[in-house]
């Protein structure tokens, strides 16, 4: 048994999820006590019998936004044994049928759009590594191929290989609900909404979900040097793989991976209400100030040095000297989010390189050659 201190608010629900029609908890463990002065009496969480949150049975679920104690035991540790990541264990023609554990809205009321955190029970049958993706096949038939199922949508996994319940049986996705508004009327047109993201955000505990994968190697966390520097740049739900990295570095007690390097997260979203997993990241900042840095770019609330909106590339420019020095010393840099993020970032990096008297093309070529450059955009 271990105890978790709940910070500020404690949610009695565990729903979460998000996608762009293309990509990306219940805290489940036997007899966990959540102790906090605001709670009386102490409530016990036992989700072994039923993975959904049932208030009628005094089941208390920890909000996904709560970061737990600094280090949590994980199992089964056999998940550390494989030398190669699992790849494509389940394919579109024979997907794995998993079960939704919870769906929780991650963003506040002033966020444009809805982003959810979705926990899926795969029973330990679809193992994955941090930085990989699952494919999801929404129910129904493909309108372009009558009688055939929908195409697979890829989502970056937002949890470590042990899942949010630390038992290796769940995976979490961070999904933005894709909603289409008619430009002339300004009204929502449900017929053009993202099929998969709406299916995921509308799903309920116990619902079945067809998944494929896991897939992807480009965003795997290199662990050969536990003291390496990892610079992580995300827009919106692109933060998903980094949540997995950071939980592995700072939340979980993994015997063969003791992180002693620097993890630096840049997250670009519209406003404060759109921040994802902010409490979790803020807790790492407090607990590991020498190993974690966290910079937010809020485009609708902050201004860049020229008085324009603050985008993630503006934050990168702000710290460009430091970033370039870290890259020269072997740091890994990751980009994840909408593909529209990359031109602005590349332009910024090119401009900074030129100001430093360097050729960006040569530098980029070297970063790729050294396997320091990791990009997954959609």
Active site residue 376: yes
CA–CA separation, 324 and 318 (whole Å): 12
Per-residue pLDDT at 70: 64
Is-contact 209 19, C-beta < 8 A? no
Question: What is the structure's pLDDT at 182?
Answer: 74
The residue among 194, 215, 236 that closes a domain is 215
297 and 357 both lie in a single domain? yes
pLDDT of 24 reads 35
Q: Does residue 15 form part of some domain?
A: no
140 annotated binding-site participant? no
13 occurs within a structural domain: no
Q: Is 155 a catalytic residue?
A: yes
pLDDT number for residue 103:
98
User: Contact, 262 vs 230, CB < 8 A?
Assistant: yes
pLDDT of residue 190: 75
204 is in an annotated binding site: no
Identify whether residues 318 and 257 lie together within a single domain: yes
Residues 245 and 342 in one domain: yes
Q: Are residues 329 and 344 in the same domain?
A: yes
From the candidates 53, 61, 201, 336, which is the catalytic residue? Answer: 336
Same domain flag for 250 and 336: yes
Residue 32 has what pLDDT? 31
Would 356 be classed as within a structural domain?
Answer: yes
Q: What CATH number corresponds to the domain at position 248? A: 3.40.50.80
Domain membership flag for residue 32: no
342, 376, 358, 370: which is closest to 228 by C-alpha? 370
Is the domain of 356 the same as that of 260? yes
Determine whether the annotation assigns residue 309 to a binding site.
Answer: yes
325 labeled part of a ligand binding site: no
Residue ending a domain, among 215, 247, 263, is 215
What does the pLDDT profile of the chain (378 residues) look like in tens digits?
A: 444 433 333 333 333 333 333 333 333 333 333 233 232 323 223 333 333 333 333 333 344 544 444 689 999 999 999 999 999 999 999 999 999 999 999 999 999 999 999 999 999 999 999 999 999 999 999 988 999 999 999 999 999 999 999 999 999 999 999 887 778 877 777 777 889 999 999 999 999 999 999 999 999 999 999 999 999 999 999 999 999 999 999 999 998 999 999 999 999 999 999 999 999 999 999 999 999 999 999 999 999 999 999 999 999 999 999 999 999 999 999 999 999 999 999 999 999 999 999 999 999 999 999 999 999 999
| Same domain? 358 vs 260 | yes
Does residue 41 have a cis bond before it (omega within 30 degrees)?
A: yes
Instruction: Please identify which of the residues 51, 68, 133, 156 carries the catalytic annotation.
Output: 156
In angstroms, the CA 236 to CA 239 distance is 6
User: Known binder of ligand: residue 237?
Assistant: yes
Is 205 found in the same domain as 81?
yes
Q: Does the annotation list 35 as a binding residue?
A: no
Question: Rounded distance, CA 24 to CA 134, Å?
Answer: 8
C-beta neighbour count of 371 within 10 angstroms: 10
Residue 176 labeled ligand binder: yes
Q: Are residues 169 and 300 in the same domain?
A: no
Query: Within this chain, do residues 225 and 348 fall inside the same structural domain, yes or no?
Result: yes
The catalytic position among 90, 155, 242, 277 is 155
260 marked as part of a ligand binding site: no
The answer to whether residues 365 and 327 belong to one domain is yes
231 and 351 housed in the same domain: yes
Question: CA-CA distance, 257 to 224, in Å (whole number)?
Answer: 9
* Residue 333 belongs to some domain of the structure: yes
d(CA 310, CA 304): 5
- Residue 170 has phi, psi (to 5 degrees) of -130, 160
Domain total in the chain: 2
Q: Is residue 233 part of a domain?
A: yes
103 in any annotated domain:
yes
Write out the residue range of the structural domain in which residue 282 sits.
221-377
CATH number of the domain residue 175 falls in: 2.40.30.10
Final residue before a domain boundary, out of 215, 242, 269:
215
Ligand-binding annotation for 24, yes or no, is no
- The answer to whether residue 50 sits within a structural domain is no
């Amino acid at each position: 048994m271990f105890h978790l201190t709940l910070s500020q608010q404690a949610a009695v629900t565990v729903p979460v999820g998000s996608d762009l029609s293309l990509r990306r908890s219940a805290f489940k463990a036997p007899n966990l006590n959540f102790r906090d002065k605001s709670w009386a009496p102490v409530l016990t969480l036992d989700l072994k019998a039923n993975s959904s949150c049932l208030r009628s049975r005094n089941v208390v679920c920890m909000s996904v936004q709560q970061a737990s104690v600094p280090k949590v035991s994980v199992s089964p540790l056999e998940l550390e044994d494989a030398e190669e990541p699992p790849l494509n264990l389940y394919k579109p023609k024979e997907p794995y049928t998993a079960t939704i554990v919870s769906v929780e809205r991650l963003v506040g009321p002033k966020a444009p759009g809805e982003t959810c955190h979705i926990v899926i029970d795969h029973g330990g049958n679809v193992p994955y590594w941090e930085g990989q993706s699952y494919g999801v096949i929404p129910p129904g038939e493909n309108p372009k191929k009558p009688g055939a199922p929908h195409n697979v949508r890829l989502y970056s996994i937002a949890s470590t290989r042990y899942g949010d319940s630390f038992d290796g049986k769940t995976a979490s996705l961070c999904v933005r609900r894709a909603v289409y508004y008619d430009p002339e009327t300004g009204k929502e047109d449900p017929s053009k909404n993202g099929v998969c993201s709406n299916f995921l955000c509308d799903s309920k505990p116990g619902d079945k979900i067809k998944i494929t994968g896991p897939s992807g190697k480009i965003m795997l966390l290199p662990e050969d040097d536990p003291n390496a520097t990892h610079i992580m740049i995300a827009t919106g739900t692109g933060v998903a793989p980094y949540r997995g990295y950071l939980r592995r570095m700072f939340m979980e007690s993994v015997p063969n991976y003791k992180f002693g390097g620097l993890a630096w997260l840049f997250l670009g979203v519209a406003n404060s209400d759109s921040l994802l997993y902010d409490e979790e990241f803020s807790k790492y900042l407090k607990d590991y100030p020498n190993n974690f840095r966290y910079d937010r770019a809020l485009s609708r609330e902050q201004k860049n040095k020229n008085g324009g909106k603050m985008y993630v590339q503006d934050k990168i420019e702000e710290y460009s000297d430091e970033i370039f020095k870290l890259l020269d010393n072997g740091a890994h840099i990751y980009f994840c989010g909408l593909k529209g993020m990359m031109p602005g970032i590349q332009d910024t990096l090119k401009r900074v390189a030129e100001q430093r008297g360097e050729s960006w093309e040569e530098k980029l070529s070297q970063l790729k050659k050294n396997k320091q450059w990791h990009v997954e955009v959609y």
